[in-house]
Chain A
Amino acid sequence: MSLFGIQVSVMVHVLFGVLGIILAVALLVYVLNASEKNIPTIRSLSLWTAVSMITSYVIGGWWYVVHYPAERAIIRAGQWSWAHTFFMEWKEHVFFALLFLSILLPIIAYRNDLMVPENRKLLLVATLLVVLIGLAVDGAGAVISRGVIVGYMGRVAP
């Protein structure tokens, strides 16, 4: 794959991750304002949040296994080696909890009566966790990207 393709693919991974967070925030708002009329929207949002997070996981996972080792070497040789040893290590493993929660969202939304406040509260808890973990791994991704730049800066102007 070309350098352009490699960079675009990691951006698509981020794009779907951010889209998943935005959809989850929209889901939170709809669940907090639930009515018989917006139940179909809640169900649809829960499904598309899961689809977006799964897509982000598949693309990001492929990129991590195939293309990340080159960037990891640059990060680890630089002054921000902790961008890999803490942030990437944390991100790549906590993403599984995010994935489990994302898959759970449509199961809760489609298979339960959302006019029951307790059921909506369960959906809120799962959605809130998706948003918070999503933002945390997104931030970790930003630190990792800066880690690459800091690594290159060390090479150009030590």
Chain B
Amino acid sequence: MTSNTLDKTTIGFGLSVAVMSILNALLVIFKEMTPPFKKAMADTMGHHWTTHGVVVLVLFFALGFVLAGAVKPESWGAGKLGNTILWSVILSCAAVAAFYLLH
């Protein structure tokens, strides 16, 4: 028997990929534009990138589980979720590239 409805964990973590890719890009831009914030990140765990990684990974898993419990499977089809992931990841990669190109 086939099931057309996506599993809730897939939707939750799929949306988390989309949201966290954008948030990751925004955090990159914000920390680079705000030296005291970048220094605070470096002071927290010894290196700004370590703190950055821990923050985005913890948020990724937390958001994934929260959204998995909150979403209605009927409102997120595989096609819609795929497009959301695709464009958010492309946008975030391009935003980080554009920022470092111009920075």
**Could you tell me the distance between the alpha carbons of A99 and B56 in the complex, rounded to whole angstroms?**
11
**Could you tell me the distance between the alpha carbons of A119 and B25 in the complex, rounded to whole angstroms?**
28
- Residue in contact with A126 in the complex, picked from B4, B47, B85, CB distance below 8 Å: B85
Inter-chain residue pair count (beta carbon < 8 A): 106
B residues 72-99 in Cβ contact with A at 8 Å: 77-79, 81-83, 85-86, 89, 92-93, 96-97
Majority DSSP secondary structure for residues of A touching B: helix
- Given A107-B13, A112-B6, A116-B3: A97 touches B24 (CB 8 Å cut-off): yes
Not counting A93-B28, A100-B20, A125-B85, a sample of 18 additional A-B residue pairs whose C-beta atoms are within 8 angstroms of each other reads A61-B49, A65-B47, A92-B49, A93-B96, A96-B21, A101-B89, A103-B60, A107-B13, A111-B10, A112-B3, A112-B6, A112-B7, A115-B2, A118-B78, A118-B79, A122-B82, A126-B85, A136-B93
Q: Interface on A for B, CB 8 Å cutoff? A: 61, 64-65, 85-86, 89-90, 92-94, 96-97, 99-101, 103-104, 107-108, 111-113, 115-116, 118-119, 121-122, 125-126, 129, 133, 136
User: Can you offer 11 A-B residue contacts whose CB atoms are under 8 A?
Assistant: A61-B53, A65-B47, A85-B100, A93-B25, A96-B24, A96-B56, A104-B85, A116-B78, A121-B78, A122-B82, A125-B86
